[in-house]
Amino acid sequence: MKREESTLNAASAGGGDARPVEGDVGLRAAEACVREVSSQIVEIVSDSGEGAQTAGQLFGTVCAKMGNGIWTVEIIPAEIEPPSRSRAGASGIRIRFGTDPVTNMGDGADAVVALNEQVLYSRIDQGGLRPGTLLLIDQKWASSPDPRIAKAYEKAVEDFYQRGYDVRQIPIEEQTATFTDDPHRGKNMWVAGLLCALYSRDLDIALDEVQKVFERRRKGREVIARNHEILRGGYAWGLENLDTRFDVPSRPRTESMVVMNGNAAIATGSMAAGIELCSMYPITPATSASHYLAADFHKVGGFVHQAEDEIAALGFAIGASYAGKTALSITSGPGMALKTELVGLASMAEIPLVIVDVQRGGPATGLPTKVEQGDLLCSLFGQPGDAPKIVMAPSSIEECFHFMITARKLAESFRMPVLVLSDANLATGQAPFPRPEPSEEWLSPPVDQSRWPDGVPAYAWDSQTGLSERPVPGQIGGAYVLTGLAHDEHSRVAYESAINQRGIRMRSRKLAALQKTLRPPQIHGDEEGDLLVVGWGSTRGAIEEAVDRIRRDGSAVSSMCLRFLSPMEPGLKQIFGRFRRVMTVEINYSDDPADPLIDDETRRYAQLAWLLRSRTLVDVDCWSKVPGQPLPPGVIEAAIRERLEGVK
Amino acid sequence: MYGLKTDWEEEGSDCRYFTLQHYEGITPRWCPGCGDLAVLTAVQRLCRDEQLPPEKTVFVSGIGCSSRFPHYMKTYGFHGLHGRALPVACGIRSRRPDLHVFVATGDGDCISIGAGHWVHAIHYNMKLVVMLLDNNVYGLTKNQTSPTSARGRKTNTHPRGGFFDPINPVQTTLGIANASFVAQTVDWNPPHLLATLKAAHEHPGLAFVRILQRCPHFATPDFEALQRDRSKLLLLTHPDGIELDDAAKATFEKQESHDPSDLNRARELAGLEDAVVLGLFYRNPDVDRYDLHTAEGVGTTRTDKLTAVQAELDRYRI
């Protein structure tokens, strides 16, 4: 029995043998078979600071370079250095890669490398594994001088067998120690090498990536050489000792691709949009977007201002926008809450502005590092009074890039704030997409300093569309005093009823004008059927995968993803009318209809469902959860199947 | 009218001349006798004297009586939110080194709701003229205690008297790293007010000017006493300080020569309890200016930007 082998293996590893024991990992490479599979989900979990994410990103990049589709999800604890060997401190990364493009994190992992057994439990608790998951676990704990640790490890391994995982105890740290005096820091590279062997990755590409990773960190040749050696070590060990290996073939690719995470895409997109100022205050999980900008923004003449607080960050951006070019602020939920009043000012005084909200769990401090789609309603309705603004939500990392260009242009054309709702899933997930071909048209034009035409007021609202040209300081004849008070078209403070009504009507009209330029959303699946699943933002890939699985059974399910939330894309009511039921799937809270006291009068709906119900008067249902992690397609599939039962 | 015409402007050439009228916005709606009116007059004179092009001049304010200031100027203006004038002004300055940016803020706006921004704006030291129009009271919302109200002063929120000694804006500002210009003046001495604002405008960095400003409606006895009893005022004089002609100087009973590079003495003077000190407490033109950093890259051509964006994308290429 495997279980006995494991015990044996642990005992002999404790003997301090320089050569690793192969007992548990079975056959030699010569006899190993390489199985071809179309996709795999692999995770690396460790204590914080052990480099699991670096190794995983490297592995993901290697896969992407080999032409595979990839999607990565980072597992980030809220603390920088949480206690080691604790479930809450689990840090890591999931890489899903396949022959075809990958759009979401998938269901249970096919393989998990765990640097200790406790962090693995956190993944088990999160539902990250499936029966039969290949576990590659560092066996060093079996020989821990602390008997409690050794015992905990032994007990856990036994438990893992019982849970039906395919457990392999691997001398990860011990092997790493043959290449470096500090195996604690080097073992992530050894793991990357091991995974390259397990999945038949191109070693040269991997070595090249190692070099890039350490060059980016400004490390010298010596460090790179040592890490090369460790990676080769893991690779060689894998080839020699793993009994089953896999290959995930790729399709030939013609177009040029880039790979990055959503926050890097937002940063790069901002640069391509010609944005020159990003004003921010540090907040998870938005901050890394500013890090990417801070590193390279100067190359396009841009500047990142770290303000003293979230309010000041937006005030600074508004000042810069008012005086010239549309500025950017990047934040997350708590920051959005603080910016509320200034967003209202930007709407009221028609200041173009782009605000990225990388959503995390709320309210208050909530789940700082975890995903949620909970900021939709506050984005639309967060201000007192009527404060129209544009709200968009990218549904992929590629869209994170392109939406920045659109957002900047819309902000200027419609002279209003544009909120881009990303989330923690997109922010840290990496995926390849066709390399954008930027053009000068994407960049903002130089600040207009020509003479302002005589007699044209600061808000010469077009009575049809509410649109107007904006004077910028420096334009002779354009001087006006911007105010957050009710004002007429000359920006003169005016409290008269008719003037207030007109100003608000004109600002609102702009949203209608934008809506008339939008196209109806595309439907994934048939144009009519039993059930339409509507989502927004980062859940698109998982929803579509779930829908595809259900459609294979012949069920009449389709899905739709909304990119514009304010204004909403046209034709929704007509589309909904072609389905017997409509439901949303979202990562935010809604009451479960089966809960106590919950009935038609008390049930609180998921955020998009609220909007769609009021917009279309269709009885839109919803299924939503706040698990603090992306929704796996299997979970969505189960939820949809349950609702389908109700339809039939 | 015959004779020389002073109110003229030559279009489309560099030799435009601006008169006071070029800076006069709508008729002020401050109460008669409000000290803000005196400051407005001084500022319009400063703009005229310095010939600041109205289109290159921006007045930024928050909310409060004095924050109506931009409406009464005929330049660009930004009348924003309560407490947020300084971040907005810093943002305007950040990418527009060609603009003259002034901030009009009150004691509630700056010292209370915007206090965090006040500390950090001083720390950033961007080139701005910040005028703190300090009337020791909330006027617009009708007589509430301000952080600069005297202890025990009875207001609508503290009918039995305020609990605290006031915050001393000058002393506090002098305690913030990178403070580079700190002065104090009063609305009722036009020559000193104008001279102070002129020195502030010339300063390379953030010039913080606290202007003691009378509120005729919720009249503060402190200001009346200051006007009645000239011995309560101490004028700072120094060749490097605020320039005042002899006639104006002669109206001050008490004077002290103070070198504005002496930060320690400046802090002592700011803390004097038996006198209100007018003049330049501190000036250091060599403090690093954040706006010189924020403006780096302004004017980068689209071609250069596009090249950089292409290179950036190539970094992520696979």
Task: Express each pLDDT in B301-315 by its tens digit.
Answer: 999 999 999 999 999
Residue A9 has pLDDT above 70, yes or no: no
Q: What is chain A's Cα-based Rg?
A: 27
- Probe site for chain A from B27, B55, B75 (most A CB atoms < 10 A): B55
Peptide bond into A285 cis (omega under 30): yes
Distance from CA of B123 to the nearest CA of A (A): 10
Taken in order B177, B183, B184, B187, the sign of the CA dihedral is negative
Q: Are B206 and B134 in contact (CB under 8 A)?
A: no
**Among residues 515-574 of chain A, which lie with CB inside 8 Å of chain B?**
none
CB–CB contact B91 A300 (8 Å): no
**Among residues 416-475 of chain A, which lie with CB inside 8 Å of chain B?**
432, 435-436, 438-440, 443, 471, 473-475
pLDDT for residue A15:
34
pLDDT for residue A31:
57
Residue A427 has pLDDT above 90, yes or no: yes
In sequence order, the 6+-apart residues with CB closer than 8 A to the CB of A362 are A333, A334, A372, A374, A375
Q: In whole angstroms, what separates CA A110 from the centre of its chain?
A: 22
Q: Which residue has the higher pLDDT, A30 or B31?
A: B31
CB–CB contact A323 B299 (8 Å): no
Residue of A nearest to B69 (CA): A481
pLDDT in tens, A330-382: 999 999 999 999 999 999 999 999 999 999 999 999 999 999 999 999 999 99
Whether A264 has its CB under 8 Å from any CB of chain B: the answer is yes
Residue A532 has pLDDT above 60, yes or no: yes
CB–CB contact A305 B94 (8 Å): yes
Distance from CA of A97 to the nearest CA of B (A): 15
CB–CB contact A303 B316 (8 Å): no
CB–CB contact B302 A274 (8 Å): yes
pLDDT in tens, B242-301: 989 999 999 999 999 999 999 999 999 999 999 999 999 999 999 999 999 999 999 999
What separation in angstroms does the CA of A580 have from each of A98, A490, A576, A577, A590?
35, 51, 8, 7, 22
Task: Name the least confident of A4-18, A354-368, A447-461, B228-242.
Answer: A4-18
Taken in order B290, B292, B298, B304, the sign of the CA dihedral is negative
Residue A473 has pLDDT above 50, yes or no: yes
Whether A8 has its CB under 8 Å from any CB of chain B: the answer is no
Whether A294 has its CB under 8 Å from any CB of chain B: the answer is no
CB–CB contact B305 A341 (8 Å): no
In sequence order, the 6+-apart residues with CB closer than 8 A to the CB of A225 are none
Which whole number is the average pLDDT over A503-529?
Answer: 98
* A319 closest CB neighbour out of B54, B79, B87: B87
Percent of chain A with pLDDT over 90: 90
Q: Give the ipTM of the model, two decimals please.
A: 0.96
pLDDT for residue B14:
63
Locate B25 and state its tokens.
Answer: 């916005």
- Probe site for chain B from A481, A487, A488, A491 (most B CB atoms < 10 A): A481
CB–CB contact A303 B120 (8 Å): no
pLDDT for residue A59:
97
pLDDT for residue A463:
96
Helix extents (H) in A490-539: 497-515
Residue A10 has pLDDT above 50, yes or no: no
Q: Are A485 and A526 in contact (CB under 8 A)?
A: no
Read off the pLDDT band of A7 (50, 70, 90).
very low
Cα separation, A37 vs A568, in Å, equals: 41
pLDDT for residue B12:
55
Read off the pLDDT band of A81 (50, 70, 90).
confident
Whether A94 has its CB under 8 Å from any CB of chain B: the answer is no
pLDDT for residue A4:
38
- Probe site for chain A from B29, B88, B90, B99 (most A CB atoms < 10 A): B88
Percent of chain A with pLDDT over 70: 95
- Probe site for chain A from B84, B117, B291 (most A CB atoms < 10 A): B84
pLDDT for residue A13:
33
Residue A1 has pLDDT above 70, yes or no: no
Pairing of strands A91-98, A69-75: antiparallel
CB–CB contact A258 B296 (8 Å): no
CB–CB contact B94 A319 (8 Å): yes
- Chain B residues within an 8 Å CB radius of A478: 55, 76
In sequence order, the 6+-apart residues with CB closer than 8 A to the CB of A94 are A41, A42, A43, A56, A72, A73, A75, A105, A109, A128
Locate B269 and state its tokens.
Answer: 């003077």
Residue carrying the six token digits 């600074």: A316
CB–CB contact B318 A64 (8 Å): yes
CB–CB contact B308 A271 (8 Å): yes
The number of residues in chain B equals: 318
Residue of A nearest to B89 (CA): A319
CB–CB contact B91 A483 (8 Å): no
Which whole number is the average pLDDT over A113-119?
Answer: 95
CB–CB contact A319 B60 (8 Å): yes
User: How buried is A617 (Cβ within 10 angstroms: 0-12 exposed, 13-18 middle, 19+ buried)?
Assistant: exposed
Distance from CA of B71 to the nearest CA of A (A): 6
Half-sphere exposure of residue A474: CA atoms within 13 angstroms, side-chain side: 17
- Probe site for chain B from A212, A316, A325, A400 (most B CB atoms < 10 A): A316
Cα separation, A105 vs B267, in Å, equals: 61
* A323 closest CB neighbour out of B99, B312, B316: B99
- Chain B residues within an 8 Å CB radius of A319: 60, 78, 87-94
Which whole number is the average pLDDT over A148-157?
Answer: 96
pTM score, whole prediction: 0.93
Which whole number is the average pLDDT over A465-489?
Answer: 97
CB–CB contact A320 B312 (8 Å): no
Q: Are A38 and A71 in contact (CB under 8 A)?
A: no
Whether A300 has its CB under 8 Å from any CB of chain B: the answer is yes
- Chain A residues within an 8 Å CB radius of B305: 271, 274, 300-301, 443
Query: Mean pLDDT score of chain A, rounded to an integer?
Result: 93
- Chain A residues within an 8 Å CB radius of B76: 471, 473, 478-481
* A317 closest CB neighbour out of B91, B120, B309: B91
Read off the pLDDT band of A528 (50, 70, 90).
very high
Strand residue runs (E) in A15-105: 33-36, 39-46, 69-75, 91-98
Cα separation, A463 vs A551, in Å, equals: 48
Residue of B nearest to A60 (CA): B318
Read off the pLDDT band of A70 (50, 70, 90).
very high
CB–CB contact B304 A473 (8 Å): no
CB atoms within 10 A of CB A538: 32
Whether A321 has its CB under 8 Å from any CB of chain B: the answer is yes
Residue A517 has pLDDT above 70, yes or no: yes
* A484 closest CB neighbour out of B71, B79, B95: B79
Q: Which residue has the higher pLDDT, A90 or A550?
A: A550
CB–CB contact A484 B80 (8 Å): yes
Whether A482 has its CB under 8 Å from any CB of chain B: the answer is yes
pLDDT for residue B15:
76
What separation in angstroms does the CA of A375 have from each of A359, A380, A537, A539, A542?
7, 9, 12, 15, 20
Residue of B nearest to A452 (CA): B55
Locate A491 and state its tokens.
Answer: 């920006």
CB–CB contact B84 A315 (8 Å): yes
Residue A162 has pLDDT above 80, yes or no: yes
- Chain B residues within an 8 Å CB radius of A272: 309, 313
Distance from CA of A265 to the nearest CA of B (A): 10
Which whole number is the average pLDDT over A138-143?
Answer: 96
pLDDT for residue B163:
97
pLDDT for residue B4:
63
* B91 closest CB neighbour out of A256, A268, A316: A316
- Probe site for chain A from B309, B315, B317 (most A CB atoms < 10 A): B309
* B310 closest CB neighbour out of A305, A438, A480: A438
Residue B8 has pLDDT above 70, yes or no: no
